[in-house]
């Protein structure tokens, strides 16, 4: 019976959107208890409007502060001890909940996670991991921007965590692990990636080798690991290109009366494309490696998108992801010790 803490004051659209997202989930997940954290009067108002008053699946926690979107993480750590974000993390740390979901300031969320939850033993740097759509399904990519200047060992740790997530939470028997590189040949890449490839090859993971940027969307891997700088550029570049294509299509369609008619006829096909690529369906990035499940929603998430992020947290909590990662890391370390003996 998972308990999920929700930072209800986070995100661009406010508590009412978040509470409506939760309302859309209570029937689907009758065993889950949602702990809404925020200004009590705002929560009570939202709960009433969403017809959730008296629900046994809703618990309210008062927080008098909010972390601002542009607040420096160090500042949030020092000055926002009574924020909805911090209190949600504290509930997780104290074992009152099994996961936290927030649409707030990523840097502050990661900082609070590192300070108050710490990392799983054996993990140096938690990574931001999320799914991208592929031609055959989807791929988990990490790190998407939490860490720059990663060491090769960090990339190996990312791979272990990603593999455990796909195996334990998503039921893949042998998740295929790829390493984001600039060519398929072993000699290609920078020093960090070449050494990471060596570590991955000698690990017990199902490492399929280098994956180029163009292969990300082909679906040849289930998990792709990379430095946070590179991952963030890949993600943002994709978002920018998708935005430009949408812009161009819209321009084409509104250009003329012909365009407008063509648009109506074309709508179902465009909708199919939009559905496939809808980033709202993939909302919910996990801060993998923290000693507790923390899921970050996009700040601009609407009710639908935020609900998807909460579902990510529910799935991971149900399958006890943190515990599974800890076990895998211990096993990996034991393996390495045996190998070097």
For residue 30, state whether it binds a copy of itself (rule: CB under 8 A): no
| Binding residues for a copy of itself, total number by CB under 8 A | 58
Return the axis-axis angle of helices 257-277 and 228-254, rounded to nearest 10°: 150
Q: How far apart are CA 251 and CA 243, in angstroms?
A: 12
Residue (45 or 212) nearer to a copy of itself, CB: 212
Task: Tell the smallest beta-carbon distance from residue 115 to a copy of itself (Å).
Answer: 19
Q: How far apart are CA 107 and CA 187, in angstroms?
A: 35
For residue 279, state whether it binds a copy of itself (rule: CB under 8 A): no
Residue (49 or 247) nearer to a copy of itself, CB: 247
Site string for a copy of itself, 142-161 (x = CB under 8 A): ---x--xx------------
Q: How far apart are the first and last CA of the chain?
A: 43
Q: What angle do CA 99, 100, 105 make, to 5 degrees?
A: 155
Residue (266 or 335) nearer to a copy of itself, CB: 266
Q: How many CA atoms lie within 13 A of 147 on its CB side?
A: 25
Residue (41 or 149) nearer to a copy of itself, CB: 149
293-296 and 285-288 strand pairing:
antiparallel
For residue 300, state whether it binds a copy of itself (rule: CB under 8 A): no
Q: Which residue carries 């690990």 as its tokens?
A: 203
List 16, 134, 318, 332, residue binding a copy of itself (CB under 8 A)? 134
301-340: contacts with a copy of itself (CB under 8 A):
none
Query: For the purposes of burial, counting CB atoms within 10 Å of the CB of 332, is it exposed (0-12), middle (13-18) or buried (19 or more)?
Result: middle
Task: Tell the smallest beta-carbon distance from residue 137 to a copy of itself (Å).
Answer: 12
Q: How far apart are CA 189 and CA 90, in angstroms?
A: 41
For binding to a copy of itself (CB under 8 A), which residues are involved?
A: 133-135, 145, 148-149, 180, 182, 189-191, 193, 212-218, 226, 228-230, 232-245, 247-249, 251-253, 255, 258-259, 261-263, 265-266, 268-270, 272-273, 276-277
């Amino acid at each position: 019976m998972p308990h999920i803490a929700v930072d209800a004051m986070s995100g661009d659209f406010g508590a009412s959107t978040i509470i409506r997202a939760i309302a859309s989930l209570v029937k689907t997940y009758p065993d889950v208890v949602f702990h809404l954290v925020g200004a009590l009067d705002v929560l009570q108002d939202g709960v009433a409007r969403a017809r959730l008053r008296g629900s046994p699946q809703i618990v309210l926690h008062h927080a008098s502060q909010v972390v601002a979107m542009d607040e420096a993480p160090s500042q949030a750590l020092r000055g926002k001890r009574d924020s909805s974000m911090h209190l949600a993390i504290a509930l997780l740390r104290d074992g009152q909940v099994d996961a936290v979901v927030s649409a707030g300031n990523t840097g502050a969320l990661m900082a609070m996670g590192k300070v108050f939850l710490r990392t799983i033993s054996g993990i140096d740097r938690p990574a931001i991991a999320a799914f991208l759509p592929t031609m055959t399904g989807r791929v988990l990519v990490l790190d998407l921007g939490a860490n720059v200047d990663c060491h090769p060992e960090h990339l190996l740790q990312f791979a272990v965590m990603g593999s455990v997530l796909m195996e334990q939470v998503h039921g893949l028997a042998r998740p295929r692990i790829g390493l984001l590189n600039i060519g398929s040949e072993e000699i290609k890449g920078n020093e960090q990636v070449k050494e990471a490839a060596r570590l991955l090859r000698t690990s017990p993971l199902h490492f399929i080798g280098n994956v180029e940027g163009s292969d990300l969307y082909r679906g040849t891997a289930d998990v792709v690991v990379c430095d946070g700088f590179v991952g963030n550029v890949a993600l943002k570049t994709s978002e920018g290109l998708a935005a430009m294509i949408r812009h161009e299509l819209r321009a084409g369609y509104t250009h003329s009366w012909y365009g407008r008619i063509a648009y109506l006829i074309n709508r179902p096909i465009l909708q199919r494309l939009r559905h496939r690529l809808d980033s709202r369906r993939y909302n919910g990035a996990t801060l993998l490696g923290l000693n507790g499940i923390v899921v970050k929603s996009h700040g601009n998430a609407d009710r639908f998108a935020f609900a998807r992020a909460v579902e990510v947290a529910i799935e991971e909590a149900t399958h006890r992801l943190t515990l599974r990662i800890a076990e895998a890391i211990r096993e990996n370390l034991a393996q390495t010790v045996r190998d070097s003996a």
